[in-house]
Amino acid sequence: MDRGSLPLIYFFIITLVFAYFFIYGLIGWNALLSFSRSLGLKIAFEISGFEQYLKMIHDPVFWVSIRNNLILISVFIPACIALGLFLAILLDITGGRGEAFFGRLYLLPFSLSFVVTASMWAWMYNYVYGVINTILSILNLNIRVNWLGNPDIALYSIVIVLLWQFSGYACLVILAGIKSIPESQFHAARIDGASTFQVYSRIVLPQIKFWIFSIFVVLMVFALKAFDLIYVLTNGGPGVSTYVLALLMYRRGFFETDFQYGAALANILYVLVMAIVVPYLLITLRKR
Amino acid sequence: MHIILSLIALIYLLPFWTVFTTAFKDSVEVRTSIPIVPPSNPTIDAFMKGSSEMLRGIMNSLIFTSLATIFSSMIGSVNGFVLSKIRFKYCDTIFLLLTLGIFIPYHAIIIPLIAVMRGIGLFNNLLGLAIIHTIYGIPICTLIFRNFYGEIPESIINAAKVDGARTTTIYRKVVLPLSWPAFVVSAVFQFTSIWNDLLFGLILTRGANQPASVVLANLLGTTAAEWNVQMAGTFMYAFPVIAVYVLLSKYLIRGYLAGAVKG
Amino acid sequence: MAKVLIHGLHKRFGNIEAVKDFTLEVNDGEFFVLLGPSGCGKSTVLNCVAGILMPDKGEIWIDDKLVASAEKKVFVPPQDRDLSMVFQDYALYPHMSVFDNIAFPLKIRKVNNSEIKKKVKEIAEILNVAHLLSKKPGQLSGGEKQRVALARALVRNPRLLLMDEPLSNLDAKLRVSMRVELKRIQREFKTTVIYVTHDQVEAMSMGDRLGVMSIAVLQQVGTPTEIYEKPINIFVAEFLGSPPMNMFKCSLRSDRENVIRYEGGEFALPSWMIKIIREAGVSSFILGIRPEHVKIHNDAKPGLLEGKLIYTEKLGRELIAHLMVGNVKITAVIPPELHDIVNRDVVWVSFTHEKIHVFDEKTGKAII
């Protein structure tokens, strides 16, 4: 480190200060707001203890939201990983240009904005005109499913959309993991007598555990902070059946302008996400 | 095998196809024909109807997205260089804390952010939006560049030092020219993320300043009956990102694998 | 235990022909070495025998059973060919213990557990890795990984063992001791081995027979001695032997019968040689003589050639002299009794007639 590096370091420090302020500074401010009592339209805080958090516990939609987030975690994540694994193995077996071409195709939805996805699928799921119901009626199955209007299944309709959007990513990461295994091990296993299934289950799978773990963390974080898609697609409806934590925060905090309560909800969201991410980063850095 | 993959591909592409066909249908056909079937009389009526708002939204998005992409990438490059080639105490901790910033839910800062933006007079302002996106883009751009610079062998830097160059010069003359792949990754990733963002636009802007994402979201709420307009709007908004993807997916993928995540 | 027949094998990758018209018969229990420089196609041949690659043309038979033929649309996958292979990077499974690595081929074949334990322990003892059974590959040294890979290959007592440059990642000393070990084990197990390498010393010391390959074509097959003493073309002659064979251009003299000219001088050859050269219809040719067959003399005598001493290399016991004879560079191996010649500027040189090789300039083939 010489004197010539000072301009760069100053620049770095300045941007760092901005970044840290806007990240940790504002989070801290948000936390303070969460411990304040509600002040109408003012974004200011007068500390009054756990008032907002108590409000949370008594808010029925809060519990609905938590439940929905848990459903996302327990249904969406395993399904997405399984689908990604299936696709990755299929692609790995195919190899060559097919692998590259289809791999990128499946990844396309992942690059889309959630607003676009929501818009597309709102149309796909439309009860009267939508593609899915139309296909079902063509097949003479005589079912028309109220994908987004039936409170019992709306959340699962959303899960399907998420699978469509994220499976390409899961596939990408897993495939990268598979590719990191030297080809000679594949050959050795075949010569040792292993069938394709055995090669993937005994040789590949145990070695990609870490890659799957990283997808798990990414999906977990998403499942906790999901907002955009649900806001545009169902806005929590029908009723409150598809509410999630982030959406509730938006509604209470902005729509109903209870900023301090919104801050509390956001704070909970933040804590949950950090509980996942911090251990993950520590483990990853230790491995390096 | 290719057959199976193609069948699966059809499922993935189906939504795109319905957007495409529906966007070009007139209001009557939208209601009467099956969505998968292409329009018999393709028209751009639907595009015209929602166009003024949508185009304004797209203009807005283009402005702040481009600005934020450029600046956050540049900042990321300098920061990445400092963190990987100029080592100092606590370097790793600082980096870790910065990287954490990639994962924070923006909901956790949005309320105080309103107060800040109002306070400095940049609320409901495209420049303000650009600045915000730049700042929140710093962690991920720094990550991309730090990883990239980590691959540059120390020996090149040392050779330049022995030749008498100062660090700033090394950065300008040796490292920067080598950095263009990282710039592409950073630019492509940032462009996509910022263009796709909803929350900041939703909360920090009103009316004429709203980005295309918010315009589209509102469209869904109001013109629900006119699906061709809806799909036309979707098409317009999604087009740049899809174009970037088709042309530069290689770089976007590198970004994803570097640990960059969406949402 | 198995014999292998490769007939008319062709394999190309895109525009590059990796193997051209390769035909070879490997005998039961033989240690056969396929030797050649990098990129000559030897690994490709091995991979075809293993079933990792499918030949474009030609047939591969193992023990009278056709395992691969493009024309007859036959392809037996590697799992069913009952052979074993050791790879250059060992290809050990990093997430399994050494024991599980070695046991893997048996587990796949559903051998029962007590039998597995017995066999693994046996082979581990033979290869001296028994003390490593509970470790993981990441904790082993290069030599240890090598032996574990070998143990995995041998645990099934295969009839055919394929080896792709298994020693090239080891340091020099280890390579020498492993060479001896491999040969010993092969003899004990009576396995047929096809061994691929670019190291001619390895090939010469280990092979019962060698096959020399260059640019996709099999040049010559024979015992190490045969190939060394009777190379059929310039490539084979140059590839084997260290230091490599001296080669220089010569031409017949039309006026004087037994004398041939080289750049910077001339000397005599026995008439029977001249006769064969004339019969071959060439007037100029390449003469080859190995450094150990270049004789150094103390005094000048008629018929000897003058050589200026350029420099000498003393490699332990060996002394190698680099000479300029006329305008031609000649390397000679100096026997111990003549080591004092290093002090001289000029020495006198002759070539052992029986060891002279003559090659056609255009085709490279050996005439003598």
Residue-wise pLDDT for A114-153, tens only, equals 999 999 999 888 888 788 888 888 777 777 788 888 888 9
Q: Apex CA C364: angle with CA C358 and CA C367, to 5°?
A: 35
Chain C residue closest in CA terms to A184: C91
- Which residue range(s) make up the domain with B184? 46-257
CB-based contact, A155 to chain B, within 8 Å = no
Do B77 and B17 share a structural domain? no
How many residues appear in chain B?
Answer: 263
* pLDDT tier, C1 (very low <50, low <70, confident <90, very high otherwise): confident
pLDDT tens digits for C249-287? 888 877 667 777 777 778 888 888 888 888 888 878 888
Task: Kindly state whether residues B121 and B213 are assigned to the same domain.
Answer: yes
A195 Cα to chain C: minimum distance (Å) = 7
The count of residues in chain A is: 288
A207 touches chain C (CB under 8 A): yes
Q: How many domains does chain B have?
A: 2
- Out of C89, C95, C104, name the one closest to residue A184 (CB): C89
CA B16 to centroid of chain Cα atoms: 20
B36 lies within 8 A of chain A by CB? yes
Whole-number pLDDT of residue A21: 94
User: Residue C294: pLDDT above 80?
Assistant: yes
From the list C4, C39, C45, C3, the residue with the least C-alpha distance to C21 is: C45
CA distance A80 to chain C (A): 25
Compare all CA atoms of chain A with the CA of C109 and give the residue at the minimum distance. Answer: A193
How far apart are the C-alpha atoms of C267 and C260, rounded to whole Å? 6
What band does C14 get if pLDDT is binned at 50, 70 and 90? confident
C-alpha distances (whole Å) from B256 to each of A82, A101, B144, B182, B250 are: 19, 17, 10, 13, 10
Q: Does B138 touch chain A (CB under 8 A)?
A: yes
- Tokens 């100053």 — which residue? A10
Whether pTM > 0.95 for this model: the answer is no
C190: helix, strand or coil: coil
- The chain B residue lying nearest A220, using CA atoms, is B103
CATH number for the segment(s) A54-287? 1.10.3720.10
Contact assignment for B35 to A129 by CB distance below 8 Å: yes
For chain C, say whether A210 makes contact (Cβ under 8 Å). no
Q: Is B244 strand, coil or helix?
A: helix
> Would you tell me how many other CB atoms lie within 10 Å of the CB of residue C350?
15
Of residues B69, B55, B51, the one with CA closest to residue B194: B69
Shared domain for B78 and B36, answered yes or no, is no
HSE-up of B97 (CA within 13 Å, CB side)? 13
Average pLDDT over residues C4-32: 93
The separation between CA B131 and the C-alpha centre of its own chain, rounded to angstroms, equals 14
Q: Are residues B121 and B220 in the same domain?
A: yes
Per-residue confidence (pLDDT) for residue B186, from 0 to 100: 94
Q: B244 and B157, same structural domain? A: yes
Query: Do at least 3 CB pairs under 8 Å connect C with A?
Result: yes
Q: Quick check: is B262 in a domain?
A: no
The structure tokens listed for A134 are: 């139309």
HSE-CB for B29 with a 13 A CA cutoff: 19
Alpha helices in B86-150 (DSSP H): 91-103, 107-119, 126-150
Residues B12 and B121 both lie in one domain? no
Q: What is the pLDDT of residue C155?
A: 92
B134 and B35 share a domain?
A: no
Q: Which CATH superfamily is domain C4-239 in?
A: P-loop containing nucleotide triphosphate hydrolases (3.40.50.300)
Q: How far is A89 from chain C (nearest CA, A)?
A: 19
Mean pLDDT of A152-180: 94
Chains in contact with chain C (at least 3 beta-carbon pairs closer than 8 A):
A
User: In this structure, are B124 and B33 located in the same domain?
Assistant: no
- pLDDT bracket for residue C27 (50, 70, 90): very high
d(CA B202, CA B220) in angstroms, rounded, equals 14
Confidence grade of residue A5 (pLDDT, cut at 50, 70, 90): confident
d(Cα B98, Cα C334) in Å, to the nearest integer?
70
Partner residue facing A207 (CB), from C79, C91, C95: C95
Is B263 contained in some domain? no
Does residue B232 lie in a domain region? yes
* C65-69 and C57-62 beta bridge pairing: antiparallel
Same domain, B28 and B130: no
| pLDDT string in tens for chain B (263-residue length) | 788 899 999 989 999 998 888 888 877 777 777 777 787 777 777 787 777 888 899 999 999 999 999 999 999 999 999 998 877 778 888 888 998 999 999 999 999 999 999 999 999 989 999 999 999 999 999 999 999 998 888 888 888 888 877 888 888 888 888 899 999 999 999 999 999 999 999 999 988 899 999 999 988 877 556 788 888 889 999 999 999 999 998 898 988 887 755 54
pLDDT in tens, C151-164: 999 998 899 999 99
**Chain A residues lying within 8 Å of B6, measured CB to CB:** 102
A111 contacts on B by Cβ (under 8 Å)? 192, 241-242, 244-245, 249, 252
Nearest Cα neighbor of A225 from A175, A274, A260 is A274
Contact at CB, A191 and C93, closer than 8 angstroms: no
Across residues C102-130, what is the average pLDDT? Answer: 91
Q: Is C83 on the interface with A (CB under 8 A)?
A: yes
Mark whether B131 and B233 lie in a shared domain.
yes
Residue appearing with tokens 């309320």: B111
B35 and B125 assigned to the same domain: no
Highest CATH level, class, for C246-360: mainly beta
| pLDDT of amino acid B45 | 76
pLDDT given for residue B263 in this prediction: 47
Query: Cα C180 to chain center, whole Å?
Result: 16
Mean pLDDT of chain A: 90
The rounded distance, in Å, linking the Cα atoms of A59 and B15 is: 37
Q: Which chains does chain B touch, 3 or more C-beta pairs < 8 A?
A: A
pLDDT greater at residue C310 or residue C33? C33
CB atoms C83 and A191 under 8 Å: yes
Those residues whose C-beta lies under 8 Å from the C-beta of residue A59, and which sit 6 or more positions away, are A248, A252
Domain positions in chain A are 54-287
Q: Is B113 on the interface with A (CB under 8 A)?
A: yes
User: Are the CB atoms for C351 and C294 separated by under 8 Å?
Assistant: yes
Q: Do B107 and A269 touch (CB under 8 A)?
A: yes
C75 touches chain A (CB under 8 A): no
Q: In terms of domains, do B112 and B189 share one?
A: yes
Hey, what are B238's tokens? 């999604």
Contact residues, A window 47-76, toward B, CB-based 8 Å cutoff: none
Say if CB A263 and CB A253 are below 8 A apart.
Answer: yes
